[in-house]
Chains A and B, each alone.
Chain A
């Protein structure tokens, strides 16, 4: 009875795997959200080199 559909009515439609596979529409971003995401891109640009530096620095440090 692996795929017996009868108990599936306990699920809400959106819980079915087939429904969850459907993508939600892209969000229309407001001006503040766009600014937020722009700042986040800047942050990522700064954070990634720091992460790389920390990793290399840690590898070079004698145990």
Chain B
């Protein structure tokens, strides 16, 4: 049997000599179910078994800062140009994430270890460091979201941040990829709380349809603020941690080349659900635009929920605040795990959610430490949280370009990808997407770092 490159060092005799670990046994149990479902032609069950990484990554990226970005968009422009635009950004995200499914399933390596092994230590350490640094800062913003959502309900900051941390740690105690994945997937369902919240805003179906068809209206025309929102919405949909997380999760789950089609469906399902939640957030906050509420005074989820209460009612605002807490919590779980995968892949430590605590002390250690650090920063009195959030956006967008370049180089590496490498059309779509996202990311980073570059 071959997968990936036939000349790669993956000989069966060497494998059979090696010790079988707990991680192998747990993954093999999951694979038995997949094999059985495939042989019986039970496609829905097969999809259920193989779904996970795509749904988690897409709904995980609907995180605290992203939902605030969508809320700001709805409150600034209402239902119009940004509805189809947000849909387009999710199409771009799907194109990028689909490549990570193929990379993981074919090479059985995470993104960080592939960069390290194929391009050498300099790029390996750089990719890991830029991801972990960006992830820790992003993690801080997730705990800010949890704290802000809690404040709306009158929960003190220390309690909501502590509860968020405890839930992340509790998810790790499962020590089983499958169980962890299903638990976090159940949590991601709460991302759809933005849909009923939007219904309380009574959005016009005709306005939504008109926006989708005409890409308008665009009140105020093209301004510096409009450009910033365009870029921030792209940054809210495609980020470096998604690439690293989905590829590592695909490997940890045990997807193989035969499962790539189901991996694509999983990613498509996650894309559709996340796009629905994002557009629902725009629709939920559109009444703020209609009532000319000053958006510049709304900094976090609690501010938005409070401003929405007179317009959506208590239930609508409560759903919105709960959605913000969920967004921060799920992202805290997935982003901290993505840091742990990348760190351990680069430093050749064992990395899997199927490991026991003693086997995976570095893996679990990095996850726990990054959450403790991020949660601790949020609780330090006087910490410039708004400044940190701003910096996170700059770092994430500036560091997106290298991540995407390596993604393209790896997916075209026929030595490891074999016939699953990008074809001409895939390269055209992937290359255009990567080029466009990299350019706007750099542009966004520069105009955020140097305010006033575009005027007012």
| Chain A contacts for B387, CB-based, 8 A | 58-59, 61, 63
Chain B at the A interface: SS class: helix
Interface membership of B31, Cβ < 8 A? yes
Whether B310 is near chain A, meaning CB under 8 Å from some CB there, is no
Q: Is the CB of B118 within 8 A of A27?
A: yes
Q: Which residues of chain A have C-beta atoms less than 8 A from B419's C-beta?
A: none
Contact mask for chain B residues 1-32; partner A; CB cutoff 8 A; 1 contact, 0 none: 10110001111101110111111110111011
> Cβ of A23 and Cβ of B391 under 8 Å apart?
no
Within 8 A of B (CB), among A5-48: 5, 7-27, 29, 33, 36-37, 40, 43-44, 47
Task: Please encode chain B, from 115 to 138, with 1 for each CB lying within 8 Å of some chain A CB and 0 for all others.
Answer: 001111001001000000000000
Roughly how many angstroms separate A10 CA and B22 CA in the complex, as a whole number? 14
**Number of residues in A with C-beta < 8 Å to the partner?**
43
Q: Which of A18, A20, A58 contacts B251 (CB 8 A)?
A: A20
Residue pair B24, A12 in contact (C-beta under 8 Å): no
Would you call B109 and A15 a contact (CB within 8 A)?
no
Complex contacts, B446 vs chain A, CB 8 Å = 50
A26 — which chain B residues lie within 8 A by C-beta?
117-120
State which of A18, A23, A63 has its C-beta within 8 Å of the C-beta of B18. A18
What per-residue 1/0 map shows which CB atoms of A48-59 lie under 8 Å from chain B?
A: 001101110111
Contacting pair A7 B25 (CB below 8 A)? yes
Q: Are A57 and B3 in contact (CB under 8 A)?
A: no
When distances are taken between beta carbons in the complex, the residues of chain A under 8 Å from B388 are: 58
A43 to B399, CA, bound (A): 10
In angstroms, how far is the closest chain A Cβ from the Cβ of B20? 4
**Contact in complex: A43, B402 (CB < 8 Å):** yes
Chain A min CB distance to B444 (Å): 11
* Cα-based distance from A31 to B18 in the complex (angstroms): 38
- B residues less than 8 Å from A2 (CB atoms): 22, 25
CA–CA, A3 to B25, complex, Å? 7
Query: A58, B31: Cβ atoms under 8 Å?
Result: no
B382 → chain A closest CB, angstroms: 9
Quote the shortest CB–CB distance from B72 to chain A (angstroms): 18
A28 CB, nearest partner CB in chain B, Å:
8
Q: A4-B25, A40-B405, A51-B395 are in contact. Are A63 and B445 (CB under 8 A)?
A: no
| A50/B409 in contact, CB under 8 A | no
Q: Which residues of A contact B119 (CB under 8 A)?
A: 26-27, 29, 37
Contacts A7-B28, A18-B19, A21-B348 given: A58-B117 contact, CB under 8 Å? no
Which residues between 86 and 139 of chain B lie within 8 Å of chain A, taking CB atoms? 107-109, 114, 117-120, 123, 126
Task: Compute how far the CA of A63 lies from the CA of B347 in the bound complex, rounded to whole angstroms.
Answer: 39
Kindly state whether residue B274 has any CB partner on chain A within 8 Å.
no
User: In the complex, A18→B384 CA distance in Å?
Assistant: 45
The answer to whether B32 and A7 have CB atoms under 8 Å apart is yes
Say whether B184 faces chain A, with CB atoms less than 8 Å apart. no
Q: How far is the CA of A25 from the CA of B114 in the complex (A)?
A: 10
Give the complex CA separation of A44 and B129 in angstroms: 12
Chain B positions within 8 Å of A8 at CB level: 20, 24-25, 28
Q: Chain A contacts of B448 at CB under 8 A? A: 54
Instruction: List CB contacts (< 8 Å) of B361-397 with chain A.
Output: 384, 386-388, 390-391, 394-395
CB distance from B419 to the nearest CB of A (A): 16
A17-B19 Cα distance, complex, nearest whole Å: 9
Q: Is the CB of A37 within 8 A of B123?
A: yes
With both chains docked as a complex, state the minimum distance between the C-beta of A8 and any C-beta of chain B, in angstroms.
5
> Quick one: closest A residue to B382, CB to CB?
A63
Does B398 make an interface contact (CB < 8 A)?
Answer: yes
Given contacts A14-B8, A15-B31, A17-B350, 16 further A-B contacts (CB under 8 A): A5-B20, A11-B27, A13-B12, A15-B24, A16-B20, A17-B352, A20-B251, A24-B8, A24-B117, A26-B117, A36-B405, A43-B401, A47-B399, A51-B445, A51-B449, A55-B391
Binding site for B on A (CB under 8 A): 2-5, 7-27, 29, 33, 36-37, 40, 43-44, 47, 50-51, 53-55, 57-59, 61, 63
